[in-house]
A and B are shown apart, each in its own frame.
Chain A
Amino acid sequence: MSEVRCAVRATATRRGPTTDSGAHVNGFCQECLDAAVAAGASYADVRVTDTTTQSLSVRNGVVEGVQGRTSVGFGVRVIADGAWGFASSSDLSAQSASRIGREAVAIARASARVAAPPVELAAVRAARATWSGLCAIDPFTVSTDDKLSVLLAADAAMRAVKGVALTTGSMEFLKGRKTFASTEGAYIEQDWCESSAGITAYAIDQGEVMSRSYPNSHGGAGFQGGWETIAALDLPAEAPRIAEQAVALLTAPVCPGETTTLILDATQLSLQVHESVGHPTELDRVLGDEAAFAGTSWVGAGDIGKLTYGSDIVNVTADATITGSLGSFGFDDEGVPAQREHLVRDGILTGFLSSRESAAATGRTSSGAMRADGWNRIPLVRMTTVSLEPGSAGTLEDLIADTDHGVYMETNDSWSIDDKRLNFQFGCQIAWEIRKGKLGRMLRDPDYTGITPLFWGSCDAICSESEWSVHGLGNCGKGEPMQIAHVAHGAAPARFRNVQVGVGR
């Protein structure tokens, strides 16, 4: 066991083709596949995954947590008797390889007792390749002291603002390596690095809790990259601004209930894309595979080229090739190469996020969107970088200047959407009224609600490419057992007409 584990670890920082240590992994993978085939699998793949993470958190000037974590293991996915089975273990011994291969087949045979027609997979060329994500400064070579000093400086800057009651800050770093092999002949090694950070200031008074975050809420912003991405955020420099806004929100008027024009900043718009375009275009949801948990979709498998998703300026892409994005990779967890395609073009549905199985069920090829969040999970259809493409409305200032009356909202606070991804409601941290082309009073507790195609149909302006940016999102939950995917969304601020804001007021 330890020999293989050490081999996997030893390659964790290496970039490039397989060497001697990689040969051990190759042999281990082959043992898994051989055992599965010998037990009766008509198809099998194996993923050996090794991750190292570090998380740091501060709260009110105190270091709340410094934690390191390593996890290594493998999973074998098979088709036997026309049905799926999957087994996994953290024991990387040769005996374990054979046992897990056989167990996966036994599970598949149990599946076949309650199965539909045999599983079919869309064809893919069996790749033998390596891929490495971008990482200029390995965050695990940066001292914990240096990381904490940035968080503590930002924390102190927030607490220096009178009226701030609570401050939090966090960083998380991940370095991963995975090897994929299949009975079709694929053998792919990939390694990557992720970094994320964020800070939040809270102002609290008499039961009112106001929060402001930078660069985003819910843990901040995530990147595929190294320490350079966190250094570029300059958390301490932005801390006073969000702290002052949190305090100001305590005495700001509540966002009134009305139907009005809404402008969203790029971070909130990213989550709007995620929930109301990304998830509904996951083909497994469309086909009903997530019906009992996350739900299905208002989109039908036969709607390609026919369904009006939004106004004709709405273009949404799924792109797993954007350098530095959390949604990027070389190959998905079925060995399908990373791709870019339009999900929505000129307002019309044109594509899906798909797997080999779901693509075959609809006569398509896989879009390469199968991702698992660890060695002990099967891959599911997940988002890559799903983006609202930029428009031509200029800067955010230009867009506000072009708006006579409405509300501008920033930074997500809460989200909820129905099981078909139609009726949604989002809360934001902060808003300002728009009056005659200028931002007016700050508003607290802003929220808005809508129906997906009506909302996107009301989009009449999207800011230009200069305002477009990619926002990593590290908390996308899906599936049972729950898997957390790291995805991303590109967006520029955009305007929507006749939106209900201030729900229930």
Chain B
Amino acid sequence: MIPTHRAQELATALLEAAGAAGSDQAEALVVASDDALTRFAGNRIHQNVASTDTELQLRVVVGQQVGVASTNATDAAGIAACAASAVDAARRAPADPDFPGLPGPRPVVPIDRVSAGTLTFDASARADAVAALIAPTSLAGGIAAGGIACQHSLIAIANSLGVSVAMPRTSLRATVLSTGAAGGTGWASFTNKDAATLDAVGLGAFAADTAHRSAGAVDLAPGDYTVLLAPEAVADIAQFLAWYGCSAKSVEEGRSFMSGNVGQRVVSELITLVDDALAPEATGMTFDYEGQPKQRVVLIDRGVVIGPVTDSYWAAKTGRPNTGHALPAPNSEGPLPLDVEIAAGDADPAAMIASVKRGIYVTRFHYVNIEDPSRQTLTGMTRDGTFLIENGELTRPVRDLRFTQSSIDALSTTLAVSRERALVGEEAPVMVPYLLLEKFAITGQKSRQI
């Protein structure tokens, strides 16, 4: 991957080329990456890939006309062609009277999110870790699948008003799906900037144990159940809330659960939803794709809607402060929170189980999709560790269940939030606790093998 100073040189060259091509303002984005992924299935490595790339993007402004072009040709000819294409696009685009111009420079908090342990985690190290992930399952006669992804990335942003920021990052994500000899499945995952913190043996053992306990799953009738959602499952709910409901754009257009509800309590007072790229456990950039500093934004405070995130366009359009949540231009989503967390509570997961007379423990969901954005009605399946809770104890495994449930309604019935939280996900991981929800609609179940 190119070094930071080279990325900044490319950004400068893009701005100069844009000026020469006739832009009034310009913004350069340089994204460089070294990606590697080792995937395994059937107890063997079956895919093992690496990629190196440098992408250049230029947003140019001519009056109030905006155009964007991108390329991965980093030589002078490629940069000049990119600039000409962006200026041509801007001149073809009708003026947007609401476009406020590019933002100026603001101080950005520098945080080191590069880990030497990840930089040196090469194909051999990944193979060793994969062997450790597989071992507990294979020793028990089962089959393991999963992957270890390592990323070293660099983002540099500069604009003609003086913005100039850059930040390299590293990340690692390991996953393991264990299928036991008796057919039960179990899952575990791990996300961190530092590959050296991966406990592959422990992760593999957790998944294998869950698979063992999942064998012999039983049927369960549809209906409303009390559920204890583990962090992997809570992550899906948090991400749909954030992506479909917490953008100033979706709020302004009336498509969000926040629309018309700012200042109103919409979920339990046990729920606080925050976006905070500066948190120690966060893995994201400390600035957005306009080079503006990311602010800590409280989206929901103890059940009450506070407000969405913004970028320069939607801040100007709605009269809100710019919270620094722009995505690369152009995008149809508007600003989005990418470092979401649900605040920790005071409960212990074991005590949460003990408090349930009859309910369901969910390890994770599968293939969740949204049916109604304004009510956050989601449907999806449970997977890889669904258990009955009976009289305060995890008892029998349950065959995978389909749910169809408004997460706003479900979070309104929150009974407890755990102290313990986990970082879940890859592209925009979320920090989330266990949630005990009194009412959750189960609407179907995976069929027995036909």
Please give the residue numbers on chain A whose beta carbons come within 8 Å of chain B beta carbons, in ascending order. Answer: 1-2, 5-6, 57, 59, 62-73, 75, 83-91, 103, 106-108, 110-116, 143-145, 148, 152, 165-166, 168, 170, 202, 204, 206-209, 287-293, 295, 298, 376-378, 413-420, 422-423, 425, 427, 445, 447, 449, 451, 453-454, 480-481, 503-504
Contact = CB atoms under 8 A, between A and B. Distances in A.
Given A86-B50, A449-B444, A480 B147 contact: yes
B419 interface: no
A136 to B, nearest CB: 23
A64 B253 contact: no
List the 9 closest pairs (A to B, CB-CB), nearest first: A65-B330, A110-B123, A144-B92, A116-B44, A292-B145, A376-B51, A291-B145, A66-B89, A292-B177
Contacts of B86: 68
B417 to A, nearest CB: 26
Contacts of B49: 86-88, 107, 377-378, 481
A416 B92 contact: no
Do most interface residues of chain A lie in helix, strand or loop, or is the interface mixed? mixed
21 contacts: A57-B330, A64-B332, A71-B71, A73-B72, A87-B49, A88-B49, A88-B52, A107-B48, A110-B45, A114-B131, A145-B92, A204-B253, A290-B41, A414-B371, A417-B367, A418-B367, A425-B443, A427-B371, A453-B450, A454-B450, A481-B35
A418 B448 CA distance: 12
Contacts, number: 268
B369 A414 contact: yes
B172 interface: no
Given A90-B52, A291-B177, A423-B381, A298 B449 contact: yes
Given A110-B127, A204-B254, A427-B371, A65 B447 contact: no
A86 B48 contact: yes
Contacts of A72: 72-73
B192 interface: no
A420 B445 CA distance: 12
B128 to A, nearest CB: 8
B328 to A, nearest CB: 10
Contacts of A166: 253-255
Nearest to A482: B427
B72 A90 contact: yes
Interface in B18-42: 35, 37-42
Contact of A69 (B70, B367, B400, B443): B70
Given A68-B86, A114-B130, A292-B147, 20 more contacts: A5-B75, A57-B330, A63-B94, A64-B332, A66-B90, A67-B67, A70-B82, A84-B47, A87-B51, A110-B123, A111-B38, A113-B128, A114-B43, A165-B253, A207-B374, A291-B145, A293-B175, A418-B402, A423-B445, A481-B149
Contacts of B447: 422-423, 451, 454
B431 interface: no
Given A289-B42, A419-B383, A449-B444, A68 B48 contact: no
Contacts of B52: 88-91
Contacts of A423: 381, 400, 402, 444-447
Given A110-B126, A165-B254, A292 B146 contact: yes
A292 B42 CA distance: 10
B346 interface: no
B98 interface: yes
Contacts of B253: 165-166, 202, 204
Given A106-B123, A113-B127, A63 B444 contact: no
B39 A116 contact: no
A449 B445 CA distance: 11
A54 to B, nearest CB: 8
A108 B48 contact: yes
B40 to A, nearest CB: 7
Nearest to B74: A90
A404 B254 CA distance: 39
B88 to A, nearest CB: 8
A90 B55 CA distance: 9
Given A64-B330, A85-B48, A291 B179 contact: yes
A361 to B, nearest CB: 10
Contacts of B371: 413-414, 427, 445, 447
Contacts of A65: 68, 329-332
Contact of B145 (A68, A288, A415): A288
Nearest to A9: B73
A66 B94 CA distance: 10
A306 B372 CA distance: 40
B310 to A, nearest CB: 17
Identify the interface centre among B39, B78, B143, B329: most chain A CB within 10 Å of its CB: B39
Contacts of A291: 41, 143, 145, 177, 179
B176 interface: yes
B363 interface: no
A110 B50 CA distance: 12
A417 B369 CA distance: 10
Interface string B258-282: 0110000000000000000000000
A2 B330 contact: no
Given A84-B48, A204-B253, A288 B72 contact: no
B123 A207 contact: no
Contacts of B41: 288-292
A215 B47 CA distance: 37
Interface string B373-407: 11100011101000000000000000010101100
A207 B85 contact: no
A93 B92 CA distance: 35
A143 B45 CA distance: 48
A67 B87 CA distance: 10
B43 to A, nearest CB: 7
A415 B39 contact: no
Given A114-B45, A292-B147, A66 B68 contact: yes
B139 interface: no
B69 A69 contact: yes
A423 B446 CA distance: 5
Given A165-B254, A204-B253, A480 B143 contact: no
Contacts of B112: none
B374 A114 contact: no
A425 B373 contact: no
A295 B185 CA distance: 12
A282 B24 CA distance: 51
Contacts of A73: 53, 72
A69 B70 CA distance: 5
Contacts of B78: 5
Contacts of B449: 298
B176 A292 contact: yes
B383 to A, nearest CB: 6
Contact of B149 (A57, A110, A298, A480): A480
B98 A62 contact: yes
A378 B35 CA distance: 13
Contacts of A108: 48
Given A67-B68, A204-B254, A289 B46 contact: yes
Contacts of A111: 38, 45-46, 48, 123, 127
Contacts of A415: 369
Contacts of A207: 254, 259-260, 374-375
Contact of B92 (A66, A86, A290, A422): A66
B26 to A, nearest CB: 15
B446 A418 contact: yes
Contact of A89 (B51, B259, B370): B51
Contact of B366 (A295, A447, A449): A295
A67 B330 CA distance: 7
B4 interface: no
B393 to A, nearest CB: 27
A114 B127 contact: yes
